[in-house]
Amino acid sequence: MKTKLAALTLSALLTVTACGGGGGDAPAAQGPQPLRMTIWTSNEAHLKLFKEIADDYRKTRPETGEITFDPLPFENYTTTLTTQIAGGNPPDLAWILENSAPDFVGSGALVPLKSKIQNPGELVPAATKLWEKDGELFAYPFSTSPFGVFVNTDLVKAAGQKTPQELIKAGQWDWEHANEINKAVAAKGKHGLTIWDFDYKGWDNLATIWRGWGATAYSEDGTACRFNSPEMVEAMTFLHTMIFKDKAMPAPGTVADFFAGDAAMVVAQISRAAMLEDGEFGWDLVPLPAGPKGQYAVIGQAGIGVLKKSPNAEAAADFLAFFTDEANSAKLAAYFPPARDSLLTAETMAKTSPLLKPEQLQEVVIDGIETGVVKPSHTGQAELAQTVRASLDALWVADADVKTVLDGVCAKIQPMLGA
C-alpha cells in the first residue's frame, strides 16, 4: 500500500507542480543564488568531476552561488525526490530515471530545454524520444547506456564451448547458442547467465531478453498490456526453461557474482566494466545475442531536468546547458555514455573507457545507442512495476504455467493503463 500511494502521489503531485510558476510567487532573493541538483551517485570520481564542471561555470557567473550535488539513495530515489517537491523544497535540477520519465515529461513539471542546450540537433533521436513531447525536449539524456553481455572467457573455454566472439564471426551469436554455453558452464559447477539488478524482482531488466522475440510490456500507445502476447509468452517460456530445466541461469535465491568469477555471463551496462579492472579471469564484452526477431539493443537511460517549481529555474537551465555542452559531455562520457553524435565514435569513447576495445565500444555502445529501445516505462510506472512484480512471482517456480501467469499479469494491470 505504501508503494501504491507513493506512485499515485508522484503522478498527482507532478500535475499540480506543473501549474506552479517556477517560484514566481517567491520574493526575489538577494546576492549569488545557489543551485542544487539531486543525483543518485555518491561515487567520489563522479562527484569530483561534477564539482570541477560547476566551478568552471561559476568563474564567469558571479550571480551564481554554490552548486551542490545531492546524492539520494537509488532504491527510493524518486520517492525521496517527490517528498522534497511536496515539502516545498524542490531541487533546481534533478536526475530522472527512465521509468519515471512519462510522469515527469507528461505532467509539464519540467522546463522546456530545446532552445537552451547546445546543438540539440546533434542528439541521437533514439536517445531523446523518451524525453520529448510535442516537439519540445524536457530533459537532457545525459546517460544513455546500452546493455551488453560480459563474458568470462576462461569459464567458457573450460566448458569446451566456442566463445561468443567465435560465434559472432560465424553468424551464430543468438540466444539458443548462448544458452548452450551457459548450460555447459553450469554443468561444470559454476553458474551460467546472470542479469544485473534482476534477482527475480527487477523484471524490467528482462527486456534485455524478451526484445529479441519482439515482445513489449505495453502497446506503443501505452493503452494495452502486452505481457500475454504470443511473443512475450514465447520469450518467457524460453527464459523459464533456461532457469528450471537447463539450469543455465541461477534459480531464485541463488547468489552468483559474475565479477567474482562465479558465472559465465552477465547482462549489464558498460559502466560495470570498471569492476573488472583488477579481474583475475579473461573476459569480453559483446552485444546482446540475437533473438528470433534478429539483432536488437536495449538501453538504460537517465535524463537531467529543471523543475518548474525551482526558484532559480532560469539559472538552473543555463547551468544545465553548460553541464551538457560538447566539451563537458566529453568529460562526462568517462562514466555516462553520451547522446551527442559528435562524441559517438570509438576513438573518442576509447579515451574515456580504457578497459574497453574500440570494437566493443562500437558494437555494444555506439550501435546500441543509435538503434536501441529504452527499458519499459509508462505513466504511473512505480505502481505498475510493483503490480507486475507481484504477479510474476508465480512464474518463478519449476511447474509454472507461463501463459496462465502472463494472463494474470494483464488481468491485474490492464485497468491501470487508462483504457
Q: Worst-scoring range by mean pLDDT, 17-21, 24-28, 81-85, 164-168?
A: 24-28
pLDDT at position 183, please? 98
One-letter amino acid for residue 285 of the chain = L
Start-to-end C-alpha separation, the chain? 23
Per-residue pLDDT of 90-125, as tens digits, reads 999 999 999 899 999 998 999 999 999 999 999 999
Per-residue pLDDT of 11-56, as tens digits, reads 555 655 555 444 444 444 567 899 999 999 998 989 999 999 999 9
Q: Where is pLDDT greater, at 393 or 382?
A: 393
Give percent above pLDDT 70 in the chain: 92
Q: Which three cell numbers stand for residue 175?
A: 540466444
3-state SS of 194-210 is: EECCCCCCCHHHHHHHH
Query: For the chain, what is the radius of gyration of the CA atoms?
Result: 22
CB proximity list for 330: less than 8 A, separation 6 or greater: 338, 343, 348, 352
Give percent above pLDDT 90 in the chain: 73
Q: Which residues of 19-50 are buried (b: 16+ CB within 10 A; e: fewer)?
A: ebebbeeeeeeeeebebbbbbbbeeeebeebb
Q: How confident is the model at residue 3 (pLDDT cuts 50, 70, 90)?
A: very low
Task: Estimate the share of the chain in helix, then strand, then coil, as percent rounded to the nearest 5.
Answer: 50, 20, 35
CA distance 208 to 200: 14
Q: Which helix (H) or strand (E) holds 268?
A: strand 263-269
What would the mean pLDDT of 148-159 be, rounded to a whole number?
A: 98
pTM listed for this prediction: 0.86
Q: How confident is the model at residue 10 (pLDDT cuts 50, 70, 90)?
A: low
pLDDT at position 22, please? 44
CA distance 112 to 104: 12
Q: Which helix (H) or strand (E) holds 374?
A: strand 373-374
Q: What is the mean pLDDT of the chain?
A: 90
What would the mean pLDDT of 153-164 be, rounded to a whole number?
A: 98
3-class state of residue 88 by DSSP: coil
